[in-house]
Chain A
Amino acid sequence: MKILVCISHVPDTTSKINFTDNDTAFDKNGVQFVINPNDEFGLTRAMWFKEKQGASVDIVTVGEKDVEPTMRKCLAIGAEKAIRVDAKPVDAFQVAKEIADVAKNGEYDLIIAGRESIDYNGGMVPGMLARLIGAHFINTCVSLEIEGDAATAVREIDGGKETLSCKLPLVIGGQKGLVEEKDLRIPNMRGIMMARKKPLDVKQPVTEVTKVEFKSFSKPAPKGDVKLVDAENIDELINLLHNEAKAI
C-alpha cells in the first residue's frame, strides 16, 4: 500500500496572529511553525500502517522553501520521501490541484490529509482533492483500518459517530482519534540524522488557477471587561443572562 500524507505548515497554536503589508498578509515575524495538528495525527497513523502492514509513506506540502524544516520533521518521524510543490498556496483549489497531480503520478492508494488546517482553516483541500482524482472521501475521520483494498473508517458526525466502508483509493480528512494524543511521534536523534539523507524532491507547480483570494485581514474588536458576579449572588447572574445578554 502506498500512502501519501498531506502536510500543512502552520503557525504554532500559541502564536499571536498579526498582519502586515497594510493588513493583506500574515506576519510571520517571530512565529514558530509546526506540522498542522490534524496532519500530525494522520502521519502517526500512517507510521502504524508502515510498521504493521508494510505500507510506504510519502509526504507532500505545497509551499515555498520555508516549509522545508517542517517537512524534514516529518521525515524524522518516519516518512520515506518528501515532495514539495514549489508554489505559494493561495487557495484551497490550487493546493488540491497540485496535490492531485502528485497523487496521480505516485499512484497512491491512500491519501491522509487533515480535517482542516489551523491557519486559513478552510477544511476544503481534502474533499476537493478526492473529487479531482476520483477517489472516495471520508471527512472528520477518527479511526481507519485497511485490509487489502478495503477501508473501514469511523467518521465523527454532529452528536455521534458513523462507521463507513469503501474501497481504495481513498482520501481522508483526519483528526484526533486516528491515534491518541499520547501516541503522537516526536522525532528522536536517530530519526533526525536519517532524515537528512532522505529525499526531499522539489516539484514545479502545474496550475496557476485560483478561485478565491484573500484581499485583507482583520482582528476581532477588543472585548469589554468581564462583569464579575459574586458567588453568593447567582440570582444576579441569571438576571444578567436573561435581561442584558438575552442568552436565556
Chain B
Amino acid sequence: MSLLIYAESENGKLKKMAYEVASYASSIASNMNAEVTAVTINAEDVESLGQYGVGKVLNVKNESLKAFNEESYVDVISKAANEVNAEIIVLSQSANAKYLAPALSVELEAGYASNVVALPETENGFQVKRNVFTNKAFGMADITTDKKIIGLSNNAFGLHENSKTPEVVDFSPEIKGSGIEVKSVDKNTDKVSIADAEVVVSAGRGLKGPENWGMIEELADVLGAATACSKPVSDMGWRPHGEHVGQTGKPVASNLYIAIGISGAIQHLAGINASKTKVVINTDEEAPFFKAADYGIVGDAFEVVPQLIEKLKEFKAANA
C-alpha cells in the first residue's frame, strides 16, 4: 500500500495545509502498514514533512513550474502517483488543489471525494465523511475505485506529529507543455488569504460604508487574520469580491471567525459554519447570528471594535 500527498508550497515555503494533509495521510497509513510519499514542487525544507509522518519525498525542482499551472502540475502529480503506485492520493482544498484534483482523478482513473472532514471508515467499503449542502449537512461517500483521491477540508484534521526521517529523492519527470499561459498574477503578499488564515475577521452591512473598514483591517492586523465580508458588502463594491464568504462565496474553516455587523442569514452561516469558534458583535440581540455563535457581544461595532483592538494589543504585549 502506498499513499501520495501533494504538499503545496508558496514561494518555496511549505504551507500549513501540506503538514495537515501529511498528518491525515500518515494516520491512514499507520492503520494500513503503508508508506506516505509527498510530492513537492519547488519547495524548500521538505525534510520537515517527516515530522508529520512522511517517509519519502519526491522533490521536484523545475523553473518552468514556478508559476502554478493546472496542466503541468497535473502531469507532475500523476507521474508521481504512478512512480510510487499510489492507491490513495490526498490533497488539500486550497484553490489550486481544487483546481487540480478533478483532472487528476480522470488521469489516474481514480474516484475523487472533495471537502472531506474525517478519516476513512473501511469496515464497509471505503467511506469518507464530506461536507454537502454547503456545510448544512454531511454525507458518507463510498469511493469504489481501486485508486482514490481525497480532498481534505482545511483545518478539518489538524496537525499530528509522527516523526520520521524522510528519504528525499530528486524527481524530474518529463513535463508536457501547457496550453494555458499565465499572463500575470496579482496577489497581495502581505495579507493573509482567507483559505490560509487561522483567524478571519468579517464585517457586514452593519458597518454602514466602506470608509469604516479601517478598524476591521486594524483588528485583522492585530490578530494576524484575513479580512472577509458578507455578500451585500461585496455586491455594493464596498469590498472586493474575493472577500465575499458564505454559501455562494468562499467557504471559511478557520479556528476563529469574528462577525461584525453581520445578521447571520442562512446563506452566510452555511459558508462559515465549519469554523471552530465563532464570535458575533451586533447591536441587535435578535440577530440570527447569535444562535450560531459561541460568543457574542450585543453592542455597537463602532464602540466595541476599537476597544477590542486596544485590549488585544495589551493581551498580545503581555503574552508575547
Q: Which residues of A contact B (CB under 8 A)?
A: 11, 13-14, 17, 19, 37-38, 91-93, 96, 118-128, 130-132, 136-140, 142, 152, 156-167, 175-177, 180-182, 210-220, 223-224, 226-231, 234-235, 237-238, 240-242, 245, 247-248
Q: Report whether B244 and A176 are in contact in the complex, using a CB–CB cutoff of 8 Å.
A: yes
**Contacting residues, chain A, for B145 (C-beta < 8 A):** 211
**Contacting residues, chain B, for A131 (C-beta < 8 A):** 102-103, 106-107
A93-B111, A245-B295 given; A162·B185 CB < 8 A: yes
A159-B187, A217-B140 given; A124·B247 CB < 8 A: no
**Contacting residues, chain A, for B111 (C-beta < 8 A):** 91, 93, 211-212
Contact with A along B176-199 (1 / 0, CB 8 A): 000111111111110111111001
Q: Report whether A138 and B180 are in contact in the complex, using a CB–CB cutoff of 8 Å.
A: yes
Residue from A119, A140, A212 in contact with B144 in the complex, judged by beta carbons closer than 8 Å = A212
User: In whole angstroms, how far apart are the Cα atoms of A164 and B185 in the complex?
Assistant: 9
Q: Report whether A162 and B184 are in contact in the complex, using a CB–CB cutoff of 8 Å.
A: yes
**Contacting residues, chain A, for B71 (C-beta < 8 A):** 136
Chain A residue nearest to B283 in the complex (CB): A231
Q: Does B24 contact A (CB under 8 A)?
A: no
CB distance from B142 to the nearest CB of A (A): 5
User: Could you tell me the dominant secondary structure of chain B's interface residues?
Assistant: mixed
**Contacting residues, chain B, for A234 (C-beta < 8 A):** 297, 304, 307-308, 311
Q: Does B248 contact A (CB under 8 A)?
A: yes
Can you list the 7 inter-chain pairs with the closest CB atoms, starting with the nearest? A127-B102, A159-B193, A160-B187, A231-B299, A211-B111, A131-B106, A247-B256
Residue from B140, B249, B256 in contact with A245 in the complex, judged by beta carbons closer than 8 Å = B256
Residue from A124, A162, A238 in contact with B101 in the complex, judged by beta carbons closer than 8 Å = A124
Q: Report whether B140 and A165 are in contact in the complex, using a CB–CB cutoff of 8 Å.
A: no
User: In whole angstroms, how far apart are the Cα atoms of A156 and B185 in the complex?
Assistant: 10
**Contacting residues, chain B, for A132 (C-beta < 8 A):** 106
Among B31-39, B129-137, B204-212, the one that faces the other chain is B129-137
Chain B interface residue count, CB cutoff 8 Å, equals: 94
Q: Report whether B140 and A215 are in contact in the complex, using a CB–CB cutoff of 8 Å.
A: yes
Q: Report whether B266 and A13 are in contact in the complex, using a CB–CB cutoff of 8 Å.
A: yes
User: In whole angstroms, how far apart are the Cα atoms of A234 and B96 in the complex?
Assistant: 39
Q: Does B47 contact A (CB under 8 A)?
A: no
A166-B180, A218-B137 given; A157·B125 CB < 8 A: no
Q: Does B284 contact A (CB under 8 A)?
A: no
A140-B99, A237-B279 given; A158·B106 CB < 8 A: no
Q: Report whether A157 and B185 are in contact in the complex, using a CB–CB cutoff of 8 Å.
A: yes
Q: Report whether B295 and A118 are in contact in the complex, using a CB–CB cutoff of 8 Å.
A: no
